[in-house]
Structure 1
């Protein structure tokens, strides 16, 4: 963006005159030149712990981190627009974008006021089967945890699968959960997962007869016949 030295991450985010102008004019003016001769990892550490590295007050750390990440994202976007579209970046426009995006992020976080429900054990006589899937570039892994009414983990199960779409992976994990619980010998289960679509399909399978995961949902219902 400055047509000077070869570009790397250090130059793009810290050494480029464009980057330094941006950092000096955000809500937290920072002289990033002090990081010029340090590995880029030191800048990452400064964002993670800005109070000790940059002197950011503890009550402003979260807002600063949002601002820093948005600033880096906008710098990367400006660089891509220049390379792929020939669009010369304007620091003033970039700063306006950063300001509006930071406000939007902060508002979204505050508006959500998300407080996750605490995990609760199942009733006496039940086992709770929690399932999930992790998607990796070359494969997926389904996992199941069985807990009793005291919250004690009584059994766990994992299964390596091919690389899958996340929703298909969740359905595979749910199928693993009911089959594993049946093999374990419990008579009553609560099935719990974090895929709303998958749970909805199990509860209202007649609405998902044409869905890609319909055969797996049908298998889940066959296994559920084994429980009281």
Structure 2
């Protein structure tokens, strides 16, 4: 460490960054270490400028307290970011496509939407339809069915369907779940789709991971555009709905 005291700020940063490279990039400890080091340098450099240019005087304990406060604030921001990242849309496994679906109820009608993306997260297709019913659960079933029909017509072999309707997913995936009437009819149709395609499955996701399908359903309700949709004609707030969050 004695040799390091003669390094300029650029060399110090190089030393710090090179040392961090040896740590696992996913390690929160590595990130905390980098964050703490950056804050120490920032606080010290600011204090140095205040001393040189403004004749300021700092007590070491005040500088240390300032460093600790900044570190706690920044780490809390990153932890909040990490928690939100768990609810961000992520691409499917290699070789698979993901179909997100949702429904929007407006008055006595329901508007259905599904979007398809590949394992790189590229938007490959979008479909919409409508239902003359205000029943939200029935609309969710129709949205899942629309996704299945779209995947089958596109001849996609490996598909994971995602819906933010927990009840719909439970009914479809659990044949012992007590249900009757129109819901049973549509649940049976969707189960038949999944039975015919062994590499298809349906899972629930949070609404926060389903923004694109959600916004497409809302856009369909206002535009009254249905069937196979041209991706180039969709508004940006729909096609960019599931972009990753920026760091805090």
Q: TM-score, normalised by structure 2?
A: 0.44
Q: TM-score, normalised by structure 1?
A: 0.48
